[in-house]
């Protein structure tokens, strides 16, 4: 269960961090959950903190983002030694690029969906959608390691609830990658979409050539319109508040999904 109250110094610190006085190392979403802007709002990670101080980190950005993730811990008064779980939404270099650094600093391995676990361990990206010319070109030139291999402790499955801050549900949304996941924190009614949907200037699909199966990405995103949440947080773009479920449903309807 997330703490529903904060001390005055903590609230003041969080308000200052989100106030726009320089780049904010974290953006409070709900009590006990923060967004980490790793490349401004364009690439994001997340922090979830339990009542007892245990910390879960979700997504580590590009290769240079690892130190920013660690700095974000300090911004909320936590330390690498407080981290008890690391999670990747999928094995792409803009999410796993900083993962090896964070694993080394925290002494923790990662939880990754079983269908992306091999790619995370190898440091390779899943194949791109070869129905698009750009996808075929990326597959042809990408070859080799996309990021430093990541230690994987647990392989996740759809529907399991991680013992994080009262329960974090794994929602398998494949297509962008075979093991792509979204995450739902039911206690606080917060959804982390991962790359199932972007919110860059507006709601939009991920770049289709970067997906393993773009058509599947669109089909599986329909589940995001069926979940219950009051805040939608994105790995690409700022969060949505004020009935984000209806905004996402509207986007899916316009795209004729579901």
* Two structure tokens written together for 246: 């209806």
Which domain does 133 fall in, by range? 8-190
pLDDT of residue 83: 98
Residue 80 domain-assigned (yes or no): yes
* Two structure tokens written together for 73: 């811990």
Residue 87 domain-assigned (yes or no): yes
pLDDT band at 168 (very low <50, low <70, confident <90, very high): very high
d(CA 237, CA 214): 20
- Taking only the tens place, the pLDDT of each residue in 33-60 is 999 999 999 999 999 999 999 999 999 9
Residue 199 domain-assigned (yes or no): no
- Mean pLDDT score, 182-188: 97
d(CA 127, CA 140): 10
pLDDT of residue 44: 98
Q: Count CA atoms within 13 Å of residue 22 on its CB side.
A: 3
- Mean pLDDT score, 227-247: 97
DSSP letters of the chain?
---S---HHHHHHHHHHTTTSS--S-EEEETTEEEEEEETBTEEEEEEE-TTS-EEEE---SGGGHHHHHHHHHHTT--GGGEEEEE-S---HHHHTTHHHHHHHHT--EEEETTTHHHHHHT-PPPP-TTSHHHHHHHHHH-S-SS----EEEEE-TT-EE-STT-EEEEE-TTSSTT-EEEEETTTTEEE-TTSSEEESEEEPPPGGGSS-HHHHHHHGGGGGTS--SEEE-SSS--B-SSHHHHHHHHHHHTT--
pLDDT of residue 132: 52
Strand pairing report for 202-204 and 231-233: unpaired
pLDDT of residue 188: 96
Residue 252 domain-assigned (yes or no): no
- Taking only the tens place, the pLDDT of each residue in 144-157 is 668 999 999 999 99
Residue 235 domain-assigned (yes or no): no
The CATH number given to whatever domain includes residue 179 is 3.60.15.10
| Contact yes or no for 206/177 (Cβ under 8 A) | no
Whether the pLDDT of residue 228 is over 60: the answer is yes
| Contact yes or no for 161/6 (Cβ under 8 A) | no
**232: CB partners within 8 A, 6+ apart:** 190, 191, 193, 199, 239, 240, 244, 245, 247, 248
* Two structure tokens written together for 94: 């803009």
Residue 67 domain-assigned (yes or no): yes
Residue 60 domain-assigned (yes or no): yes
Residue 171 domain-assigned (yes or no): yes
- The count of domains in the chain is 1
Q: Angle 35-36-40 (CA atoms, 0-180°, nearest 5)?
A: 110
Among residues 87, 11, 98, the alpha carbon closest in space to that of 48 is found at 87
């Amino acid at each position: 269960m997330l703490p529903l109250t904060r001390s005055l110094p903590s609230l003041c610190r969080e308000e200052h961090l989100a106030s726009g006085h320089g780049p904010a190392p974290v953006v409070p979403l709900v009590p006990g959950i923060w967004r980490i802007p790793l490349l401004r709002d364009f690439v994001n990670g997340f922090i979830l903190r339990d009542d007892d101080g245990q910390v879960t980190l979700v997504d580590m950005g590009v290769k240079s983002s690892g130190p920013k993730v660690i700095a974000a811990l300090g911004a909320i008064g936590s330390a690498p030694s407080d981290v008890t779980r690391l999670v990747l939404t999928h094995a792409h270099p803009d999410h796993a690029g900083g993962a090896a650094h964070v694993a080394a600093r925290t002494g923790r391995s990662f939880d990754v969906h079983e269908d992306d676990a091999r790619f995370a361990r190898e440091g390779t990206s899943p194949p791109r959608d070869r129905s698009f010319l750009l996808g075929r070109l990326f597959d042809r030139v990408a070859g080799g390691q996309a990021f430093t291999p990541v230690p994987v402790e647990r392989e996740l499955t759809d529907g399991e609830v991680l013992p994080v801050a009262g329960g974090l549900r794994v929602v398998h949304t494949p297509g962008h990658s075979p093991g792509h996941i979204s995450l739902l924190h039911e206690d606080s009614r917060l959804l982390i979409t991962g790359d199932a949907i972007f919110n860059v200037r507006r709601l939009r699909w991920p770049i289709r050539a970067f997906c393993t199966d773009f058509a599947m990405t669109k089909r599986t995103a329909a589940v995001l319109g069926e979940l219950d949440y009051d805040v939608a947080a994105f790995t690409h773009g700022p969060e949505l508040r004020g009935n984000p479920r209806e905004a996402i449903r509207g986007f899916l309807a316009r795209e004729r999904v579901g």
